[in-house]
Amino acid sequence: MRLPRPPSPRVRPRQPSQRAKETGRRDVLLIERWPGLGTIPRVPLVDTPTPVTHLEGVSARAGTAVYAKRDDATAERYGGNKVRKLEWLLGDAREKGARSIVTVGGYGSHHCLATAIYGAQEGFEVHAVLFPQPSSPHVSEVKRAMIAAGAKVTTVRTAAAVPFAIAKKVARLKIGGASPYLIGPGGSTPIGTLGYVAAGVELARQIDEGEIPEPAAIFLAAGSGGTASGLAIGLAAAGLVTPIVAVRVTGPLAINGPTLSRLVQNTVSLIRFHDGRFPIVANEAVRAIVIDGRHRGPAYGASTGAGEHATSLAGGDDLRLDPTYTAKAFAALLDAARDQTYDGPLLFVSTLSSAPFGPLLTNALG
């Protein structure tokens, strides 16, 4: 559905930052359109725009047109949705004078792996507090890559022990003068969510330019809510309100209507503090998000039969899924296609890195 499109402010093209000149990356469309956001610290990491592709094999099997926003290719070294958030989180950490990063996730956390890789690249010492999740070769591979990237890992026996472990870690780093910066699960703070506001504006332009048709619904995996919240804000700001099906893979306390509403409201407030020309779209964004908790399985990280089927089907179009997140979101999309829940093409946001793991494991021990 189209909203009346807010007028784009007429501004002179911004000169690229020194970092953008060095990396060859240009400033994100979000900043070009609302230049006040250029005052928010950011470390350019993402190769934008990420492509959108037609999944021909899946479309033939599903009986409806299915497309993918290939955020698995956000960066060559290691992609996925977390890289978009880290651009802003690491920029904020640097601005605050931090020397170390403390974050949290499961044993196979892609967020912790991405933080380890790009935190070290930007000169931070990265500490990860990890809680248990069902074991699999993929989980073990992610944990090994995390350690190979230089992360200092602390494991706890239960998720309930995480807050104490983080508090202890932060206190020790402060005493040692390491100036820690804390990034919560998934990096889903208003600062981190800016990464997917940018992605939403980027996707809206790709739709406007005819790279893909306007989708009837967008499907993505939701662990902490930042990806869904940011995407909804960015699309609404560009005048496009499309149902965003946030397929919940964590418990209902981690992601629910009130938590997403707060994150959306706080993110829009942050944006408008820096650029008052950004439209007031929080209510539209919240209404666009549909939480689907039917595919979580018996526990966080547990694989499901529907997810395994989705993985097999997506593989025919060279789309790689993981059992914890993306397989469940793709299974929800296939259910919607089968049940004809939405009248029109469906879009899947591919958030699992497609970069090869071999180079990441080169220095792994064990």
Q: Are 211 and 178 in contact (CB under 8 A)?
A: no
pLDDT at 24: 40
Assigned token pair, 87? 């651009």
How far is 92 from 67, CA to CA, in rounded Å? 33
SS3 readout for the chain: CECCCCCCCCCCCCCCCHHHHHHCCCCCHHHHHCHHHHHCCCCCCCCCCCCEEECHHHHHHHCCCEEEECHHHCCCCCCCHHHHHHHHHHHHHHHCCCCEEEEEEECCCHHHHHHHHHHHHCCCEEEEEEECCCCCHHHHHHHHHHHHCCCEEEECCCHHHHHHHHHHHHHHHHHCCCCEEEECHHHCCHHHHHHHHHHHHHHHHHHHCCCCCCCCEEEEEECCCHHHHHHHHHHHHCCECCCEEEEECCCCCCCCHHHHHHHHHHHHHHHHHHCCCCCCCHHHHHHHEEEECCCCCCCCCCCCHHHHHHHHHHHCCCCCCCCCCHHHHHHHHHHHHHHCCCCCCEEEECCCCCCCCHHHHCCCCC
- Residue ranges in the chain whose pLDDT is less than 50: 4-25, 365-366
pLDDT at 14: 32
Domains identified in the chain and CATH numbers? 18-79+189-349 (3.40.50.1100), 86-188 (3.40.50.1100)
The pLDDT tens digits for 17-51 are 343 334 344 558 999 999 999 999 999 999 999 99
Assigned token pair, 144? 């090994």
